[in-house]
């Protein structure tokens, strides 16, 4: 019998999603605002539990864009961004006609290196005469970045932090939820993230003023007049009330989805314990509590000829298992070829040795065991 293909990170529905979508139809709220949007935002706020205001948007990328817009990022500005991430972390810098300045990762968290961040700020300031306008820190694969060190550096240079927590809903750093640690926080509800709205995102705001400004910009920057009057450039970035209905249902099962991602990670760790040549990415120290959105491994030591993440990926593909190489660092991407970069080889090394394993909450222990055994066939 043909076995089901094992996917990297498939969305898992809780059950109530259909009900909330039907609500939207029944009440005529088939528009990019409405009760589902309000209640989805409220449940995210309660989950983050910090007095922050959450604004639901059409994507995580839109949230990053509006964050940079609000921080005044404009033509000629520098914005420092982690290089080891998905391109969507940095695209909005270019939407604002600013310059991305890429900073490499540190080996423990795979996220922004505080030492290289400091260097990037000092050297760019010396060169341009101005500090970068913002810093985009990413919690990659759900692992919190070294926020104490990064926040101290940012504060010393008076640069606001945009926290890209697109992959880190439910992750905690020092007992605080990722997404609430910067000046503005970004969440994503794309199909493969911790929860989905079939496509969507949110901006986590510290103040009611930031939230109002975000809603204003996301709804075409319409001024408060009886006719359409515009003094600033607007966007159509609000989340649909249909999508928000899915989000409401997903919030009801969020704790279960998070628990399962962490269980899957623990199971991989057990299965690979003592296997030479495979290292499972884990929390580097107390205070780091990843949601383990994706469990990632790196191939360690001298690799036998022909063994690399791509050959391993193809081997798994042949067995009906989807896996994916780690993010290709942005300083290596042709689209960012001319961006300044402060690099020490860490992310390039990870890209050359790392693989993301199937981690979706619907996977069974048998699925995970099958993945691990297929990997061990090749790596021994």
Ligand X SMILES: *Cc1c(COP(=O)(O)O)cnc(C)c1O
Contacts with ligand X, residue ranges (CB under 6 A): 59-61, 85-86, 88-89, 138, 164, 166-167, 188, 190, 201
CB of 95 to ligand X, least distance (A): 12
Whichever of 86 and 292 has its CB closer to ligand X, that residue is 86
Q: In angstroms, what is the minimal distance from the CB of 193 to ligand X?
A: 6
Asked if residue 314 lies in contact with residue 262, where contact means CB atoms within 8 angstroms, the answer is no
Q: Considering beta carbons, is residue 166 or 184 the nearer one to ligand X?
A: 166
Q: How far is CA 299 from CA 101, 273, 325, in A?
A: 29, 14, 12
We find the least distance from the C-beta atom of residue 231 to ligand X, in angstroms, to be 27
Provide the token pair at 375.
């990997």
Closer to ligand X by Cβ: residue 166 or 297 = 166
Cβ atoms within 10 Å, residue 112? 33
Question: Please, what is the minimum distance in Å from the beta carbon of residue 323 to ligand X?
Answer: 17
Nearer to ligand X, 12 or 128 (CB): 12
> Where in the chain does DSSP place strands (E)?
53-57, 78-82, 99-103, 134-138, 161-164, 172-173, 176-177, 184-188, 201-205, 278-280, 288-289, 295-299, 324-325, 341-342, 354-357
Residue 84 C-beta: closest distance to ligand X, Å: 10
Cα 133 from Cα 72, distance rounded (Å): 8
Q: Closest approach of Cβ 141 to ligand X, in Å? A: 9
Q: Toward ligand X, which CB reaches closer, 58 or 241?
A: 58
CB nearer to ligand X: give 201 or 249.
201
CB of 203 to ligand X, least distance (A): 12
CA distance 341 to 199: 31
Whose Cβ is closer to ligand X: residue 104's or residue 164's? 164
What are the two backbone dihedrals, phi and then psi, of residue 339, each rounded to the nearest 5 degrees? -75, 140
Query: Minimal CB distance to ligand X: which residue?
Result: 60
CA distance 172 to 288: 6
């Amino acid at each position: 019998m043909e076995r089901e293909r094992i996917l990297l990170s498939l969305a898992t529905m809780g059950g109530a999603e259909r009900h909330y979508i039907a609500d939207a139809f029944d009440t005529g709220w088939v528009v990019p605002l409405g009760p589902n949007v309000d209640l989805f935002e409220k449940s995210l706020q309660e989950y983050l539990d910090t007095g922050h205001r959450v604004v639901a948007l059409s994507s995580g990328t839109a949230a990053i864009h509006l964050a940079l817009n609000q921080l005044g990022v404009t033509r000629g500005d520098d914005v420092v961004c982690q290089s080891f991430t998905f391109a969507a972390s940095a695209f909005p810098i270019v939407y604002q006609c600013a310059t991305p300045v890429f900073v490499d990762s540190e080996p423990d968290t795979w996220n922004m290196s505080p030492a290289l961040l400091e260097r990037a700020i000092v050297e760019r300031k010396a060169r341009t005469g101005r500090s970068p306008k913002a810093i985009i820190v990413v919690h990659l694969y759900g692992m919190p970045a070294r926020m104490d060190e990064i926040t101290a550096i940012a504060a010393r240079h008076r640069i606001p932090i945009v926290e890209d927590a697109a992959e880190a809903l439910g992750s905690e750093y020092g007992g605080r939820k990722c997404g609430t640690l910067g000046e503005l926080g970004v969440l994503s509800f794309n199909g493969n993230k911790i929860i989905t709205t079939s496509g969507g995102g949110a901006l986590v705001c510290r103040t009611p003023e930031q939230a109002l400004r975000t809603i204003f910009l996301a709804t075409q920057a319409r001024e408060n007049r009886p006719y359409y009057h515009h003094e600033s450039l607007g966007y159509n970035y609000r989340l649909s009330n249909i999508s928000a209905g899915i989000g409401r249902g997903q919030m009801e099962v969020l704790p279960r989805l998070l628990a399962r991602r962490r269980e899957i990670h623990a199971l991989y760790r057990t299965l690979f314990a003592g296997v030479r040549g495979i290292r499972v990415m884990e929390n580097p120290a107390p205070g780091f509590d990843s949601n383990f959105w994706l469990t990632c491994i790196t191939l360690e030591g001298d690799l036998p000829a022909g063994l690399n993440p791509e050959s391993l990926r193809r081997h798994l593909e042949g067995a009906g298992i989807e896996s994916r190489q780690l993010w290709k660092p942005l300083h290596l991407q042709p689209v960012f070829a001319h961006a300044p970069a402060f690099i020490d080889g860490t992310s390039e090394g990870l890209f050359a040795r790392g693989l993301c394993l199937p981690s979706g909450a619907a996977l069974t222990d048998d699925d995970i065991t099958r993945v691990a055994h297929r990997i061990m066939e090749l790596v021994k």
